[in-house]
Structure 1
Amino acid sequence: MIIDIHAHCFPKDYLDYTEQKGSDLVDVARCMKAGIAEKELETRFANMDRAGVDLQVISIVPQVPYFAARKDAVEGARMANDLYAQLVNKYPKRFKAFGIFPLPHIQESLDEINRCYDELGMVGVTLTTTVLKKSLVASNSLEPIFAELNRRKAVVFLHPAGCCTGEQTQLYKLTWIIGAPFEDTYGVLHLILSGVTSRYPYIKFVSTHLGGCLPMIMQRIDNLYKDWGEGEIVGKPSDFIKKFWFDTVSHGHIPALHHALSVYPAEHIILGTD
């Protein structure tokens, strides 16, 4: 069976909800036409068949329900997960789903993680590399989340948030063109250097877009991080790469895949289409 691990799905009702609550990413999602209307699904299934993909694991990122207002975040997460569960139940041979939870609200997120696994049958969960523009490891606030995911030996799909938006990326609208792989890169490094991957060894993190810039600069990172950086690990950052899986999204650039194979274990590179 051929499984696509990186497959966006943006139901219209959910996008309407997040836009109403202040999301500024909705226009990008609407342009993808990756919803659950009958015509959109017909097109998706035809594309899957043409590519030889049997099943997609759908994810709502980066259209995440991360709202400061607790009620908005909880309602958004439950809506997304319920819509996904309905879609999987309707097309069980075509879809599995990653669940989402209402960060930055910890107890509510734990409750929704439990619901995703115990009631909705999700195969994993998803996170963006930042939450409300702060790194996942900016504080210890997510430790209870990581502990629960570790207990469940969870698959965690890690995707850029679209927040690499300084002047250099805003100029010429480069946020998603080059900002996203930058986010992939520091998302993985933050989890490694903070010790998250050491403290929670049973979490299976999946990074998108071949891990961003990592294949090209892994040796540079190993050489320089002790002198110029900070970290809470014993060994080199590259020693922890085996804690991650990386999807194949490289926009058809075969040399990128070849180089990734020289850096990552081959069995840790998995199909993604984005």
Structure 2
Amino acid sequence: MGLIDVHAHFLLPEYVAAAERAGHVRPDGLPAWPEWSVQRHLDLMDSTGIAKSVLSVSSPGVHFGDDFRAQVLARRVNEAAAELGRQHPGRFGFFASLPLPDVDGAVVEAQYALDVLHADGVVLTSNAGGQYPGDPSWDQLWRELDARSAVVFLHPTSPPQWRQVALDRPRPMIEFLFDSARAVADLALTGIFNRYPNVRFIITHAGGVLPLLGDRLDLYRSTYVPTSGELPSVTSQLQELWYDVAGTPVPHQLPAVAGTDHLLYGSDHCFTPASAVAAQIAALDQSPATANWRTRTTANAVQLLGERVSL
């Protein structure tokens, strides 16, 4: 069994056109949208030993200001992803896009994607229109996902105040990691992880800055956030999450992630070029911190996503 890539992106021409009409000509401050085609993606998979890619739409998601159009676009990309899986059996799965912050629309699309299209889970961005995932208005969605024991792939996006903090640098360089931390901290401190234990979360980029923050969050919440006192420690909640290794996890970052039984492989293609994917795999192969990482991450993906990912 080859690698199972849980962090892989696809781009439909109509999705890029919709994003550009909404002003996302330079997505999250990158120079341009990358090119994507199913054949190039398959070529990359074959050359790097990736057996299956679980596709998702990356930042900035599918909601560009209008709820109805976001619902239509979410349905379009989800049905296209499901069709790719049918056309290439065993090679592609997908995490379904949801039109958040439209919670009602997101619930409808999650039901359709999981029950009818048989998505492997859903993809959520770290914030949706400035709302973070611990917002009380999202509880209806969490109940639906919990009832289905759904996998949630939590992908970073630009923070609401990105103009003030990014300083014209590409937001994936710094801001993505911190916005992921904001989202996960919000989920932990508002009790979402605790109240909806059947939802399984994948956090990108080996947790980003999260592994360094758990103890600090616990210290501060014990003094300043007394309402969270009945919850498990943030550190213990972080240990229950799953983490992909997209980005630059070796040699420095990965050793800070608690344990290896929840590690998953992620390429971040097509936003990460094929040459960089190959270099990252070579670095993982050579690092003492990632011994047997291929076997471990594949077994973990099968455990998380079910036997059908290995078909």
- So what's the TM-score if we normalise by structure 2? 0.78
Once the two structures are superposed, the pairs formed by residues 55-66 of structure 1 within 5 Å of their partners are 55-66=52-63
Once the two structures are superposed, the pairs formed by residues 86-101 of structure 1 within 5 Å of their partners are 86-101=83-98
Q: Which deviates further from its counterpart, 187-196 or 60-69?
A: 60-69
Letter in 2 for 1:66: H
Query: What is the CA-CA distance between 1:28 and the residue it aligns to?
Result: 4.2
- So what's the TM-score if we normalise by structure 1? 0.88
Q: Which residue matches 1:184?
A: 180
Q: Classify 1:168/1:120 alpha carbon distance in 2 versus 1 (closer, same or farther; 3 Å).
A: same
Contact 1:164 1:175 (C-alpha < 8 Å) held by counterparts:
no
Once the two structures are superposed, the pairs formed by residues 143-222 of structure 1 within 5 Å of their partners are 143-163=139-159, 165-166=161-162, 169-222=165-218
Q: Classify 1:230/1:251 alpha carbon distance in 2 versus 1 (closer, same or farther; 3 Å).
A: farther
Q: Which residue matches 2:110?
A: 113
Letter in 2 for 1:265: G
Q: Which deviates further from its counterpart, 148-157 or 158-167?
A: 158-167
SS at match of 1:109: helix
Query: What is the CA-CA distance between 1:235 and the residue it aligns to?
Result: 3.4
Query: What is the CA-CA distance between 1:258 and the residue it aligns to?
Result: 2.1
Quote the RMSD (CA, aligned, Å). 2.2
In structure 1, distance between residues paired with 2:164 and 2:104: 37
Q: Which residue matches 1:5?
A: 6
Q: Classify 1:58/1:256 alpha carbon distance in 2 versus 1 (closer, same or farther; 3 Å).
A: same
Q: Which deviates further from its counterpart, 104-113 or 153-162?
A: 104-113
Segments of structure 1 that go 5 or more residues without pairing to the other structure are none
- Does residue 82 (structure 1) correspond to residue 84 (structure 2)? The answer is no
Query: What is the CA-CA distance between 1:68 and the residue it aligns to?
Result: 3.7
Segments of structure 2 that go 5 or more residues without pairing to the other structure are 269-311
SS at match of 2:266: coil
Residue by residue, what CA displacement relative to the aligned partner does 1:130-160 show, whole Å, maximum 9, x if unpaired? 010221223x111000000000000000011
Number of residue-to-residue matches in the alignment: 265
In structure 1, distance between residues paired with 2:193 and 2:227: 12
Q: Classify 1:216/1:147 alpha carbon distance in 2 versus 1 (closer, same or farther; 3 Å).
A: same
Query: What is the CA-CA distance between 1:45 and the residue it aligns to?
Result: 2.0
In structure 2, distance between residues paired with 1:3 and 1:231: 40
Considering Cα pairs closer than 8 Å and 6+ residues apart, tell me whether 1 or 2 has the greater RCO.
Answer: 2
Q: Classify 1:204/1:252 alpha carbon distance in 2 versus 1 (closer, same or farther; 3 Å).
A: closer
Equivalent residue in structure 1 for 2:237, among 240, 244, 247: 240
Letter in 2 for 1:126: V
SS at match of 1:98: strand
Contact 1:162 1:179 (C-alpha < 8 Å) held by counterparts:
yes
Q: Classify 1:266/1:81 alpha carbon distance in 2 versus 1 (closer, same or farther; 3 Å).
A: same
Q: Classify 1:31/1:167 alpha carbon distance in 2 versus 1 (closer, same or farther; 3 Å).
A: closer
Q: Which residue matches 2:20?
A: 19
Q: Which deviates further from its counterpart, 219-228 or 151-160?
A: 219-228
Contact 1:67 1:104 (C-alpha < 8 Å) held by counterparts:
no
SS at match of 1:137: coil
Residue by residue, what CA displacement relative to the aligned partner does 1:64-109 show, whole Å, maximum 9, x if unpaired? 1224422111111111112111211111221100101112222222
In structure 1, distance between residues paired with 2:232 and 2:170: 34
Query: What is the CA-CA distance between 1:256 and the residue it aligns to?
Result: 1.3
Q: Which residue matches 2:265?
A: 271
In structure 1, distance between residues paired with 2:167 and 2:226: 30
Q: Which residue matches 2:131?
A: 134
Query: What is the CA-CA distance between 1:216 and the residue it aligns to?
Result: 2.4
In structure 2, distance between residues paired with 1:79 and 1:48: 24
Percent identity between the aligned chains? 27
SS at match of 2:213: helix
Letter in 1 for 2:253: A
